[in-house]
Chain A
Amino acid sequence: MYRYDEFDAAFVSERVAQFSDQVRRRISGELTEDQFRPLRLMNGLYLQLHAYMLRVAVPYGTLSSRQMRMLAHIARKYDRGYGHFTTRQNIQFNWPKLRDVPEILADLASVEMHAIQTSGNCIRNVTTDQFAGAAADEIIDPRPIAEIIRQWSSLHPEFTFLPRKFKIAITGSPNDRAAVKFHDIGLMAQTNGAGQVGWAVYVGGGLGRTPMIGKQINGFVPHEHLLAYLESILRVYNRYGRRDNKYKARIKILVHEEGLETIKAQVEEEFSHVRGGILTLPQTELDRIDAYFSPPAFIDSGVVSIDVEREKILDPAFGRFLVNNTFSHARQGYTSVTVSLKPIGGAPGDATAEQMDAVADIAERFSFDELRVSHEQNLVLPHVALSELRAVYQALAEAGLAEANAGEITDTITCPGLDFCALANARSIPIAQDISRRFADPERQREIGKLKIKISGCINACGHHHVGHIGILGVEKKGTELYQITVGGDGTEDAAVGKILGPGFVADEVPDAIERLVDAYIAQRESAEEPFIAAYRRLGDAPFKEALYGNG
């Protein structure tokens, strides 16, 4: 994986020194809160309901064991022994004290991590496929270009005060696991007729109060010109994006109001000036960055497949783990393992310091020291030899991390909600816990099949509810938390925004409502092979609306 060069290291340590001084001046009273607030936010330090929250960037969701151990150390020394992995592949600590934050940032810098640009109207941490660099269906490993984008966008002087925050997601595979069409810019790897790899560029996607599916602005941008093209989009957005209204300031509104063709013409005009200039990626630099992401030294163990049906009989729990929590690897004899952070009744995305240490040890022993964070709030061991899969499973089980529910109904995405977040209107975590307990039975989950539930505690949609096959949005109505249910959302390449079918439910009614939707699906699916989302597309709203509200 990428290692800081002297420029990166100097830049991050300078920032730690600057912020240490800013904290000192804030505490001494030299800086007012109005002066300090933008400075702390530039370093990922928010104030939540009960305490500060520090959001640490996990660049394109990639971590080494050493970095994961440092996160565990921070959780243990400065926080309450746990961290929360987020839908932006980052980690948040919910209880740091202000005086400790400079020391935390120094600890992070010692393992080449930071919290820069995890807040503010700038280009945020680039996200990507959690199986990047491992997936069998990958056209190109998206991590090198993600690293190049990280370097380009870090403290980019022109793009530090954009009209609003800006999020870029990348998939190197045609099967989009990074929700690229719901980002300000989404990049999807393509191959042209000459066999060259480039990028289809989508612009103006997003969730929040105005969900939009990104529109393709260019079907193929050559790899070496991608930065110039991104800079062209950002420049047009920075010039014309609406600064008059926070709620209309994202690029999705600009694209929607001006029309794709107008924006495309502006971008192409800009691109015609910058193409071939200083942002052209030289092959030597591409090769240099690529080298950091070279495949590990895989070994042929002789085991090239596992008889899953046999394992299911011998040990149903392990069999279920094989079915749900492994993913096809590009290299024969290997697999990627999803480490679920969704234990039944747990808080989605939370991991204790002990679990972080355990998973770091497992990654070191069995996955070439590599880890990923998924936007679905799970961890991934990207390169596990099939011959060692059983040992990995046992080690995960000992750490309480072998929940075999990846992709099933209890593997929800859930924002922190009103239990922590200062912006939320309703709680999210207890809803996720109730649903998790309701559908805890593995056999019931298997019967239901792949079904994505996503839960947000406010319209900002950090829990991606718009793209849940079933989405749940918490609102406050007359002092009561109420939950709107949407059906039919999809965050993949078949992007769709879920539809509200009727009035909301109070918290206690939500598990029953979900169960009715699930029962309606099972009753009307063509076969067990037809997933919920496919059945919804075939059947339309009617049976699901009836399940929720009756036919009166």
Chain B
Amino acid sequence: MMSKQVLTANELLSGAVVYLGADGAWVENLQGARQFDKDDAHALEAARVAASSTGRLISLEVEDVVLEDGALVPARTRARIRAGGPTAPRFERQHLAEDEHVSI
């Protein structure tokens, strides 16, 4: 299992959980997240600074993820629940409205 990191946050207007995607857009789906190698601290920091400067992303966090059967899985239970939504009762995650999408 290869350990990677992703950058995650909550979008300002909706509060929805989002991940920095490969093309700089913030996406709802963890599977679309840009993967940072653990030794690539500079790139991660640059992305974090860029994200902060949008003013549209709050509670920025770096999460450890592992690749299992081709899918990204967060290492922490908390991050798995953030990625999937509440488990009990089961609720759909918060979604971004059309005007709530954000890019860096």
Contact = CB atoms under 8 A, between A and B. Distances in A.
A40 to B, nearest CB: 10
Contact of A47 (B10, B13, B78): B10
Contacts of A481: 77
B17 A347 contact: no
A425 B51 CA distance: 27
27 contacts: A26-B12, A27-B12, A27-B13, A29-B55, A32-B55, A33-B55, A47-B59, A49-B82, A50-B86, A50-B93, A51-B16, A96-B15, A97-B14, A99-B13, A347-B88, A350-B89, A418-B81, A419-B81, A419-B88, A424-B78, A427-B87, A427-B88, A433-B88, A479-B75, A479-B76, A479-B77, A480-B77
A420 interface: yes
Contacts of A480: 77
Given A33-B55, A51-B10, 6 more contacts: A48-B15, A50-B82, A50-B86, A50-B93, A347-B89, A425-B78
Interface string A42-55: 00000111111000
B71 to A, nearest CB: 18
B85 interface: yes
Nearest to B13: A98
A407 interface: no
Nearest to B16: A51
A32 B57 CA distance: 11
A543 interface: no
A476 B12 CA distance: 29
B25 interface: no
Contacts of B82: 49-50
A429 B75 CA distance: 22
A419 B58 contact: no
Contacts of B103: none
Contacts, number: 74
A419 B93 CA distance: 11
B87 A419 contact: yes
Contacts of B77: 418, 426, 476, 479-481
B10 to A, nearest CB: 6
Interface in A4-62: 26-27, 29, 32-33, 47-52
Contacts of B31: none
A314 B17 CA distance: 53
A51 B94 CA distance: 6
B13 to A, nearest CB: 5
| 4 smallest beta-carbon distances between A and B, as pairs | A51-B15, A419-B86, A430-B88, A52-B15
A493 B94 CA distance: 43
Interface in B11-54: 12-17
A33 B10 CA distance: 12
Interface residues of B, number: 25
Given A97-B13, A97-B15, A419-B86, A49 B78 contact: yes
B89 A98 contact: no
Nearest to A429: B88
A162 B64 CA distance: 37
A95 interface: yes
A456 B49 CA distance: 36
Contacts of B14: 51, 97-98
The winner among A50, A96, A347, A429 for most chain B CB atoms within 10 A is A50
A514 to B, nearest CB: 17
Contacts of A99: 13
A209 interface: no
Nearest to A97: B14
Contact of B78 (A346, A418, A433): A418
A80 interface: yes
A50 B55 contact: no
A80 B16 CA distance: 14
Nearest to B97: A97
A346 B82 CA distance: 21
Nearest to A419: B86
A29 B57 CA distance: 12
Nearest to B54: A29
Interface in A332-362: 346-347, 350
